[in-house]
């Protein structure tokens, strides 16, 4: 099957694993990487510029690409979070396309299909990844978000938000 068959949103998603035996687990290994702290200076968001389905393979590839770019900062130097979750179950009615296949298949009879993977549905403007870094590592974080965006099946852009530092209030007494 071609990638466009799974990229486009056509109908209602099938999400309940209760009624679909053999539905796979998501391939995203970790949804958070790095160390969450309150003293980061910037938050970067990878935002979708299209309405598509992202397969769980692509989400994991994008996460790995982003984390490899910022891994040199160490576990304490960044915080990466995968915001979207692959809920939609994708299925396929597998067909044999070789000579003599007409005697082995039933065609469209009982063509419900078997589950082959999961996908996350995102709309225009949906946040896919969030990353927090200090000011000195902002360029590396931008590069990491760009690398993650190249692995996804639509155009993306990065939003950079300057975080407010928590102000310590002196105790009265």
- Provide the pLDDT for residue 102: 63
166 pLDDT higher than 90: no
pTM: 0.86
pLDDT tops 80 at residue 105: no
pLDDT value at residue 13: 86
pLDDT in tens, 23-78: 899 999 999 999 999 999 999 999 999 999 999 999 999 999 999 999 998 888 99
Assess whether pLDDT exceeds 60 at residue 1. Answer: no
Q: Give tens-digit pLDDT for 7-38.
A: 888 888 888 888 888 889 999 999 999 999 99
CATH classification of 22-93+113-162 is 3.40.50.150, yes or no? Answer: no
| Better-scored residue on pLDDT, 155 or 95 | 155
DSSP-assigned states of every residue in the chain: --THHHHS--SPPP--TTSSTTPPPP----SEEE---S---EEEEEEESS-EEEEHHHHHHHHHHHHHHHGGG-TTSEEEEE-----EEEEE-----STTGGGT--TTTT---EEEEEEEEE-TT-EEEEEEE-GGGHHHHHHHHHHHHHTSSS-EEEEEEEPPPPPPPPPP-
Percentage of the chain lying above the pLDDT 70 cut? 93
């Amino acid at each position: 099957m071609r990638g466009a068959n799974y990229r486009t949103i056509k109908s209602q998603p099938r999400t309940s694993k209760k009624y679909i035996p053999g539905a796979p687990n998501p391939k995203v290994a970790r949804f958070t990487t790095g160390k969450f702290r309150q003293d980061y200076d910037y938050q970067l968001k990878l935002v979708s510029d299209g309405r598509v389905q992202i397969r769980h393979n692509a989400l994991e590839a994008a996460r790995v690409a982003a984390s490899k770019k910022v891994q040199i900062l160490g576990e304490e130097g960044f915080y990466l979070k995968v915001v979207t979750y692959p809920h939609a179950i994708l299925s396929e009615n597998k067909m044999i396309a070789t000579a003599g296949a007409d005697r082995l298949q039933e065609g469209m009879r009982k063509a419900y299909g078997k589950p082959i993977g999961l996908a996350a549905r995102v709309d225009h403007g949906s946040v896919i990844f969030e990353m927090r870094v200090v000011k000195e590592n902002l360029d590396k974080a931008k590069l990491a978000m760009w690398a993650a965006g190249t692995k996804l099946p639509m155009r993306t852009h990065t939003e950079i938000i300057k975080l407010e530092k928590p102000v310590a209030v002196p105790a009265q007494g």
